[in-house]
Amino acid sequence: MDSYQFIVEDLTKFYNGKKVLDIPHLTIKRGLIHGVIGPNGSGKTTLLTILSFLVQPSSGRIIFNGLEVSSQLNDELALRREIAVVLQNPFLFNTTVEKNVAYGLKVRGMNKNVQKEKVSECLDLVGLAGFERRRARELSGGEAQRVAIARGIALNPEVLFLDEPATNVDNIHVEALERIIGELNHKYGTTVILTTHDVNQTYRIADDVIVLFEGEIKKIVSKDAFRSPL
């Protein structure tokens, strides 16, 4: 199998005539944790939403799993079902935590018992065991963020996108979150692409770091460069 999850070529994105993303070439290796860092407005979320097939680029080519993704997506749904996205400031449906976490499984037509099992397993993973019956809208910001993460990892996706996953999460749970990301990547070989402001966090967990500034890639640092043995 192709060792690249994504190959991006000549990718641009314009909003209201302004170029917000310009990436001549980028490769994302399968089964690694990729951190995308950069200041506000550097294009991190735009890159993430384009790679997760939620937003169309203005121009350029995206090759996913060795196949070119055309702008006229014929099988957009099948592609979207291979990935999971946890958006920054995630939205929780106005229902219970259980139904929120089970949503992606339900739309895939998964058996109800499997859904229940998976929900409790994932809630346990994010430190919210027993939260199933709680109303999602009554959770704190950090709890809501963790429910959104549980909802994403419940899908066992091939690629997991996390947009600023540590926002609103306290220090104790940031550690837990980093552990979960590592486990998910290690256990299932999930490719993780996460955006963050936190440079330290990125260097702690990512295998390589993509530095974005004003829509352009300024540097890609591989793990070998910052995780060399002392």
Residues that bind another protein (CB under 8 A): 52, 54, 77, 80-81, 84-85, 87, 89-91, 93-95, 103-104, 107-108, 151-152, 155
Least distance between another protein and beta carbon 203 (Å): 27
Residue with Cβ nearer another protein (38 or 90): 90
Sign, CA torsion 134/136/138/143: positive
Q: Between residues 137 and 227, which has the closer beta carbon with respect to another protein?
A: 137
Spell 100-137 as b/e; 16+ CB within 10 A means b.
bbbbbbeeeeeeeeebeebbbebbebbbbeebbebebe
> Which residue blocks in 32-170 are alpha helix, DSSP H?
44-51, 76-80, 97-107, 112-125, 141-153
CB 70 within 8 A of CB 6: no
Question: To 10 degrees, the CA torsion angle through 16, 167, 125, 139?
Answer: -100
Shortest Cβ 156–another protein spacing (Å): 12
CB atoms under 10 Å from CB of 181, counted, come to: 22
61 or 99: CB nearest another protein: 99
Q: What angle do CA 228, 214, 159 make, to 5 degrees?
A: 55
* Nearest of 198, 213, 191 to residue 34 by alpha carbon: 191
Q: Which is nearer to another protein, 26 or 54 (CB)?
A: 54
Q: Rounded to the nearest whole angstrom, what is the least distance from the CB of residue 151 to another protein in the complex?
A: 7
Which is nearer to another protein, 3 or 94 (by Cβ)? 94
Closest CB to another protein among residues 13, 209: 13
Q: How far is the CB of 79 from another protein (least distance, A)?
A: 10
Output the smallest distance, CB 228 to another protein, in A.
36
CA Rg value for the chain: 17
Residue 225 CB, nearest approach to another protein (Å): 32
User: Token digits for 217?
Assistant: 């890639």
How many other CB atoms are there within 10 angstroms of residue 23's CB atom? 21
CB of 109 to another protein, least distance (A): 10
What would you measure as the largest C-alpha separation in the chain, in angstroms? 50
Q: CB nearer to another protein: give 22 or 158.
A: 158
